[in-house]
Chains A and B, each alone.
Chain A
Amino acid sequence: MSIAEDAPPRKTGFRFERWAPLILLVGAFVIYVGIALATDQAQYLTFDNLIAILGRSIALGITAIGQTFVILVASIDLSVASLISATAVLASVVMDGSPAMIVPAVLAAVALGGVVGVTNGLVVSGLKVNPLIATLGMSLIIQGCLSAFVSNFAGEVPEAFQVFAYGEVGPFPLALLFLAAMAVIAWAVLKFTKFGSDMYAVGGNEEAARFAGIKTGRIVVLSHVICSVCAAIAGLYLASRLRSGAPWIGSDGVYDLESIAVVVIGGTVLAGGRGGIWGTMAGMLIFSLIDSVFNIAGVDSFAKQVLRGIIIVAAVAFYAIRSKRIVA
C-alpha cells in the first residue's frame, strides 16, 4: 500500500513505533480510570470488571491474531466475518444438542476454515489476485451460500460445549486463558520458527524473499490457512456463547473490518513485514477499553459510532504521522 523511500536508517535508542501500541494502551487505560473516577463509578475499577471488559472482545481477539498473520505477509482477509458466521452455524447444526457430536463439529468447523484459507491463499498467491478482492469475493460467496440455507438461529449447542464460552478457571474465564494461550503460541511461531521469519521476509519484500530461496507461495497460503482457522475458532466461540449458530453473527460484529483495525492500531503495517502479536493484543485491549469508556460515560450509541470511527483513524495517525513514506 505504500512505497518505501530510501530513508537512511535512524539509529536511536528509543524506537517509537515499537512502543506506540503500548503508549496508546496506557493512554486508553488512563482515560478509562479517569472517566470512572470523574463520574463516581469506582465499582468499574474492580478486578472482576476489568476481566469482564476483556471477556467481551475474545472473538475479536482470536480473529485479530489470525488477521495479524495475513497482514504480516502483505495480504489481507476480508472473508473472516462471513466465515465466522458459517462456522458458527455449521458447528451448531452438527452438534444439534448432542454432546457426542462436539468433536466432529469442531473438526468440521476447523476443516471448513482450512478449506477457505487454502482457497484464499491459492487465489492470492497462484492467480495473483489482489488479496482485498480475492477475500472480498470469497466473503460474498460464503455469505451467499450460508443465507441460501439458513436465515435464523440454526442447531443447538450442548451444555458441555458452552463451557468454552462460560467456563471459568479460578478468577479467569476459560476463553480468556484460551486467547492468551493462542497469543503466546502465535508469538512463539513468529519469533522462533523458520516459518515466522519467512513470513516477515515475504511481507517485507516478496521478490527478495523468493530470490533468497523462500517458497513465497507456500508461506502466503499457510498464513491464510492460519487466519481462516482462527476465524473458525472465533465462530466456535460465538456459537458456544450464543448457544446456537446465527448466520448474521459475523457481519453484525463487523469482524472483518474491526479485526483489521485492531491489527493496524497494534502497529502492524498494512504493507506487510513489520508488526507482531503483542501489538494486536494491545489493539484489542484498546478497543474494548474504548467501548467500556463509552458505556460508563453513557455516550449515545450513534455518537459512539462517530467517535469510534474518529478514534480508529486517530490511533493509526498517532504513529503513521511520523513516517516519511508516501501512503495511498
Chain B
Amino acid sequence: MTDRPDTQNAKRRLPQINPVWILLAALIVAIIFMNPGFVEPTGYMNFLKRAAPLAILAAGQVYVITSGGFDLSVGSLITLVVVGSSMLTNNDPTATYWVIPVMLGIGLGVGALNGLIVCFLRVPSLIATLGMMITLNGVAFLWSGGAPRGYLPDTFRFFGRELIRDVPLVRFIPISVIVLVVVVGLFAWLMHRTNLGRHVHAIGDNPVAARLAGVAVNRVRVTAFMLSGLSGAIAGILLGGFAGVSTDVGTGYELQAITAAVLGGAQLLGGRGSVPAAVGGALALTAIFTLLNFLGLPQPVRQVVQGLILIAAVALAMHRRKQTGT
C-alpha cells in the first residue's frame, strides 16, 4: 500500500505470467547452453517426443485436480494398456485397428469407475484411485501371467515411434508430437472454453455452492475422471511405442503427472487449474530431467531434485497467493 505507484503496478502485473513459463524458458536456455544441438529440430523434436506422454497425462490429471480430487491410478493404467495391447495384438499387425479403440475404451471405463466410486460410494479419491492402482497392477500381472511376452506390432508402435519426414522448416515431426498437440488442444478447449470446464472449476472450488447453483456435480466429476483415464490410455499407447512391453512402464507416472499439474499452478483440492500451464509443467519437469542427464547426475540426484522442486513450487505458489490475496 505504501509502495510507489510504479512498483505497485509492476507487482500487480507480474503474477499474470504463469511462472511455469519463466521456469521452462530458463531451463531451455540452460539446456541450449549445455548442448547447442538442442536448437536443431532433432534436438527439440526428440525432447517433445519424450515429453509427450507426461504432457498428455498432466492435461488429464489437471481435470481431476481442479475438480478437487487426485487420480493415482493413471500409472498402473499405462502399464495395463501396454501389457494388454501386447496380449491382444498377439503379434498380429492388423489387430491394431481394433485394439487401440479397446484401449481407449478401457481408459474411459477405468476413469468412469473411479468417478462412480468417488461419487456414489463416497470413497475419497485418494483411496479410491489408490485401490484402483493396486487392482490394475494386479490385473496387468494376471493378464500377462507375470511375465509379459511378445512385442507390439509396428502398426501399434506407429504413434509412439514414427516420424513424418520432409516437413519444411522442422524437417520432421514425430507422430507423438502431433498426438500431443491434438489431445492438449482438445483438453484445453474443453477446460477453458466450454461449460464443462467452468463446472469442473466450480465443483472443485465449492461443491455445495456448485450443486445449489444447478451443476450436476456427480456427472461433472465422473467426466473429469474419464478424461484423466482417457489421457492415461493415450499416454500408454505412446509409451508402448517408445519403450516396449514391461510391467513397470507406468510406475511413477501418476506422481510425475501430479507434479507437472502443480508446477503449472493447479491448486490441490480444487478450484484452480489450467491445461496449457500443466503441459508447461510437464515440459519443465522433462527439461529438468534432461538437464540433469546432461550434467551426468545419477538417478538418485534426480529424485532429490524432483522432491525439492515439488516442495519449492507449491511453497512459492502459496506465497504468491498470500501476497495477491486470492
Contacts and interface: CB of A to CB of B under 8 A. Distances in A.
B318 interface: yes
Interface stretch (A42-50, A106-114, A136-144): A136-144
Interface residues of A, number: 51
B314 to A, nearest CB: 4
A317 B141 contact: no
Contact of B307 (A132, A141, A147, A326): A141
A133 B265 CA distance: 13
A1 interface: yes
6 contacts: A136-B307, A140-B303, A141-B304, A309-B131, A309-B137, A328-B204
Contacts of B118: 327-328
Contacts of A132: 70, 126, 268
Contact of A309 (B120, B138, B269, B306): B138
Given A136-B310, A138-B311, A306-B135, A148 B298 contact: yes
Nearest to A257: B130
Nearest to B72: A257
A123 interface: yes
B128 A313 contact: yes
Contacts of A133: 258, 262, 268, 310-311, 314
A242 B254 CA distance: 31
Interface residues of B, number: 61
B252 to A, nearest CB: 10
A226 interface: no
Given A134-B314, A141-B303, A308-B134, 8 more contacts: A3-B207, A128-B315, A136-B307, A145-B300, A302-B138, A305-B135, A309-B135, A313-B132
Most buried by A among B69, B70, B134, B318: B134
A264 interface: yes
B138 A308 contact: yes
Nearest to A318: B121
Query: Which of A123, A264, A325, A327 has its CB near the most chain B CB atoms (within 10 A)?
Result: A327
Given A134-B314, A302-B141, A312 B124 contact: no
Interface string B134-163: 111111011000100000000000000000
A303 B136 CA distance: 11
